[in-house]
Amino acid sequence: MKKRFNNWKAPVIEHNKPTKYNWVVQYPERFKLGFGSDIGAFTYINSKFGVVIGEEVQVGSHCSIYSVSTIDEKTGTVTLERNARVGSHSTIMPGVTIGENAIIGAHSFVNGDIPANCVAYGVPAKVVKRL
């Protein structure tokens, strides 16, 4: 475990109310946050159909994570596996899994699964490198 997480404690998460770190979750009863994970300020998480964030995941500020899309009526659990990293201002759509150790570049639109140990970015996000 990384030293910076020695005293890590999960924040209090209430429906539609900012955490002490200024990120918001809708449907917190369907949201799971792994130990040592860090979510940036002004991130919005809609977990109506489930959002699972693994251990030591980093999500940048101003990101959006959706388990439901009202535009195309797509739904599905979003999963960010252990040590995944998501750059600021990125959007993750319903049903997406971002694999262990994967890195998503800033301002990306992720509408499909990203395998473990890959770097992906763009609109839509595409794998550009294997780690």
The answer to whether position 11 is within a domain reads no
pLDDT band (50, 70, 90) for residue 6: confident
76-110 tens-digit pLDDT: 999 999 999 999 999 999 999 999 999 999 999 99
CATH number, domain containing residue 51:
2.160.10.10
Q: What is the number of structural domains in the chain?
A: 1
Instruction: In whole angstroms, give the CA distance from residue 3 to residue 73.
Output: 42
43 in helix, strand or coil?
coil
The answer to whether position 40 is within a domain reads yes
The answer to whether position 50 is within a domain reads yes
Question: Nearest-5° angle of CA 78, CA 52, CA 75?
Answer: 30
**Is residue 26 over pLDDT 80?**
yes
Distances in whole angstroms, Cα of residue 16 to Cα of each of 28, 61, 72: 9, 17, 23
Selection from 16, 112, 116, 12 nearest residue 57 by Cα:
116
The answer to whether position 25 is within a domain reads yes
Instruction: In whole angstroms, give the CA distance from residue 3 to residue 32.
Output: 22
pLDDT band (50, 70, 90) for residue 4: low
The answer to whether position 46 is within a domain reads yes
- For the chain, counts of helices (H) and of strands (E): 0, 15
The answer to whether position 2 is within a domain reads no
Q: What letter would DSSP give residue 11? A: P
Residue 53's pLDDT is what? 98
29-85 tens-digit pLDDT: 999 999 999 999 999 999 999 999 999 999 999 999 999 999 899 999 999 999 999
The residue segments making up the domain with residue 107 are: 16-130
